[in-house]
């Protein structure tokens, strides 16, 4: 596994996302066995960064992740767990309550990283960070970050946070460069902030072309592995693909070992 580092923190280039674990926007217990098998497969494969949110399956994804970690008997300190507060819960008391509920569902004493999942219209960011800062001081959260924030909101968050904002989680893939065009990636690279790419293979709907297929063939890899390798070839970028298929879970993990040449990176960038 490759890693990326900022001051006082090193994270694997590829983690495991849990969107659709336990359901979509609401719980779907009929998928629990498949979800648990996926989580156990990810743990056994060697993933150590797991990304979840109270919004995923209305908290059920956190419950299943907590159960998987607990039953695996892996040491808590060996993992890096990210979860997120829902946009409708950004008021001071609601943030504190949301974090407590997430920790209860995860069966954990702390989260390694706590993110504002999305900005909300009319939110009082100072009020939100007053609660987030308290969570860090109280040891409930180790690090703070944001998700889906633009540059203006990210910079405002940096001013309000008592500890460094370490991550902005945004969509980023071969086909989605919106956070490159708006200057976010460059800002993060210059300011010791990791950009966590979600939907790095367009939720399995990656559009292919001759360049991508030729590079995949040259590396005896899938086009999805090459797409992941391109994403993590960017400095200060990590990613969190998700799959329920054990074969794809391992292939995603192994994509970190693919060494793209600068020529291949450039071909994919300019495809």
Other C-beta atoms closer than 10 Å to the C-beta of 159 total 10
| Strands 9-12 and 3-6, bridge-based pairing | antiparallel
- Say what the pLDDT of residue 207 is: 84
Residues designated as active site: 56
> What percent of the chain lies above the pLDDT cut of 70?
100
CB 42, CB 52: distance < 8 Å: no
**Mean pLDDT across the stretch 108-115?**
98
Structure-model confidence comparison of residues 202 and 159, the more confident one: 159
Return all residues near 9 (Cβ < 8 A) that are at least 6 apart: 143, 166
CA dihedral 10, 151, 52, 138 (to 10 degrees): 70
pLDDT in tens, 118-144: 999 999 999 999 999 999 999 999 999
CB 243, CB 254: distance < 8 Å: no
- Say what the pLDDT of residue 37 is: 98
**Mean pLDDT across the stretch 49-55?**
98
What are residue 3's DSSP bridge partners?
A: 12
- Say what the pLDDT of residue 208 is: 86
- Say what the pLDDT of residue 206 is: 85
What domains lie within the chain, and their CATH numbers?
11-203+236-243 (3.20.20.100)
**Mean pLDDT across the stretch 13-25?**
96
Interhelix angle for 246-254 vs 223-232, to 10°?
A: 40
Q: What is the pTM of this model?
A: 0.96
**Mean pLDDT across the stretch 217-238?**
97
Number of H helices, E strands in the chain: 11, 10
Residue 271 has pLDDT above 90, yes or no: no
- Band of the pLDDT at 107, cuts 50, 70, 90? very high
Number of Cα atoms under 13 Å in the Cβ half of residue 248: 15
CB 47, CB 13: distance < 8 Å: no
Other C-beta atoms closer than 10 Å to the C-beta of 223 total 18
- Band of the pLDDT at 205, cuts 50, 70, 90? confident
Q: If you count them, how many residues does the chain have?
A: 271
Residue 204 has pLDDT above 80, yes or no: no
- The rounded distance, in Å, linking the Cα atoms of 237 and 207 is 21
């Amino acid at each position: 596994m490759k890693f990326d580092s900022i001051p006082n923190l090193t994270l694997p280039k590829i983690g495991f996302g849990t969107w659709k674990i336990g359901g979509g926007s609401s719980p779907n217990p009929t998928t629990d066995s498949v979800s648990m098998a996926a989580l156990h497969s990810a743990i056994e494969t060697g993933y150590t960064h797991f990304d979840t949110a109270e919004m995923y399956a209305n908290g059920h994804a956190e419950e299943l992740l907590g159960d998987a970690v607990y039953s695996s008997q892996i040491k808590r300190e060996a993992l890096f767990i990210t979860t997120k507060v829902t946009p409708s819960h950004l008021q001071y008391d609601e943030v504190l309550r949301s974090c407590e509920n997430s920790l209860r569902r995860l069966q954990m004493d702390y989260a390694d990283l706590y993110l504002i999942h999305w900005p909300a219209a009319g939110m009082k960011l100072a009020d939100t960070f007053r609660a987030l800062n308290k969570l860090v001081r109280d040891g409930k959260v180790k690090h703070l970050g944001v998700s889906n924030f633009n540059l203006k909101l990210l910079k405002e968050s940096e001013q309000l946070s008592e500890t460094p904002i370490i991550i902005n989680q945004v969509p980023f893939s071969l086909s989605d460069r919106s956070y490159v065009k708006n200057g976010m990636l460059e800002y993060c690279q210059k300011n010791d902030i990791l950009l966590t790419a979600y939907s790095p293979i367009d939720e399995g709907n990656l559009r292919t072309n001759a360049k991508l297929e030729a590079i995949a063939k040259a590396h005896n890899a899938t086009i999805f592995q090459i797409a992941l390798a391109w994403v993590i070839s960017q400095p200060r970028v990590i990613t969190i693909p998700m799959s329920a298929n054990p074969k794809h879970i391992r292939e995603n993990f192994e994509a970190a070992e693919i060494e793209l040449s600068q020529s291949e990176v450039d071909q994919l960038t300019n495809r």
